Amino acid sequence: MSPLTGKTVVLGVSGGIAAYKAAEVASQLSQLGAAIHVVMTGNATRFVQPLTFQALTGNAVSVDQFESSALHGMEHITLAERADLVLIAPATANVISKLAAGLADDLLTTTVLATRAPVLIAPAMNANMFAHAATQANLARLHELSYTVIAPDAGRMACGTTGPGRLPAPEFLVEQVIARLVTGDFAGVRLLITAGPTREPIDPVRYLSNHSSGKMGYALAERALARGARVTLISGPTCLPPPTGADLRPVVTAEAMLDATVAAFGECDVLISAAAIADFKPAVTASRKIKKAGRAAMSLELTSTPDLLSVLAERKSRQVMVGFAAETEDLIANAQAKRERKGLDLIVANDVTQPGAGFASDTNLVTLITRDRCEPLPLLTKREVADRVLDAVRQLIP
């Protein structure tokens, strides 16, 4: 049986160039067994014809609540009551402002106001429009109204501007729907995940850090959420949108990451430490910018930072603990030694000198190591690696 068999999804499509991606979303959800009912705004029909969605879903497309095909002019009530979930993708600035204000002047907005189903909203618009204070205030209001806002991707827009505002890939939107409609193998499991780099200040304008992008930790959070887990994500500075549904707790320094992780550790079932935490920090942080003038050289005294995994190992009771080992030589030996030294149940080892396995890459080449097995994986996307890591973690949970 397909995972969405028996589920009904109302897909709202508003008038933006990203409407073409909604056709792929409708197709994928239909293939997963869901009954898809598409509601389009009038402007959306200028970008994609309703017939496209009808062919992909096998259902008539609704645009005007007063059209002759609507059931006694009450189409919004029928759809609202039938829906197990409503997804609006793309959601334009105009639709977002209407929903934030509680307006209902077309079939899409009246359906949203009438439903008791969860509502996912995927904004897509020009980067400047997305950054505008009015749009951000409207998005904050949607959060207050218990709508789930899916953060947009950043990149080059059709209009030529660059920044956050792109509709995420259809596959990602489908994952968000599945995460809310399907009870996965991590249902009820509380995961604590660390991700990204830390920054150790030298002075008010400089810091020590590393090349970590946070992509691996965020992929783990996204896939865990899709499989039903409750996720707390302790993240160093990244440029990534927060995974929808995660309890994101941003930090900057190694000490701040330790404090935040220790505070959450007692409530978790699984810790996955994917962050690249600085091993050293300046012994003294200058209160003012260190000037270059008159200096031919400068020495920087470093001191070690707290070892997060060692601290947590002392507090471990029932938790499954997973760590990462980014190595440049003797991969297996170094990773095994770290697993034993830190008291880890599983360590994910990767040689960052290998093609496709370094920091900021969208792929990774890892080996999963437990006390009694060593499993090298082929080159995979970080989302695929995340699922393989979670598969191994699931076997370790009592």
List pLDDT tens digits, range 315-356.
Answer: 999 999 999 998 999 999 999 999 999 999 999 999 888 888
Report d(CA 126, CA 135) in Å as an integer.
11
Would you state the CATH architecture of domain 8-181? Answer: 3-Layer(aba) Sandwich (3.40)
DSSP 3-state of 139: helix
CATH class of domain segment(s) 190-396: alpha beta
Task: Tell me what the pLDDT averaged over the chain comes to.
Answer: 91
| Shared fold status for 8-181 and 190-396 | yes
Report d(CA 313, CA 262) in Å as an integer.
11
DSSP 3-state of 74: coil
Report d(CA 387, CA 389) in Å as an integer.
5
In which band, very low, low, confident or very high, does the pLDDT at 68 lie, cut at 50, 70 and 90? very low
- List active site positions: 159
Whole-number pLDDT of residue 72: 43
Domain locations along the chain: 8-181, 190-396
Residue 313, both tokens: 């190992």
pLDDT tens by residue, 32-50: 899 999 999 999 999 999 9
The order of strands in the sheet holding 85-91 is 35-40, 8-13, 85-91, 119-123, 148-149
Q: Which DSSP helix (H) or strand (E) runs through 85?
A: strand 85-91
Kindly tell me if the per-residue pLDDT of 127 is higher than 70: yes
Give the mean pLDDT of 58-77: 69
Whole-number pLDDT of residue 71: 47
DSSP 3-state of 294: coil
Whole-number pLDDT of residue 362: 87
Burial (Cβ within 10 Å: 0-12, 13-18, ≥19) of residue 225? buried
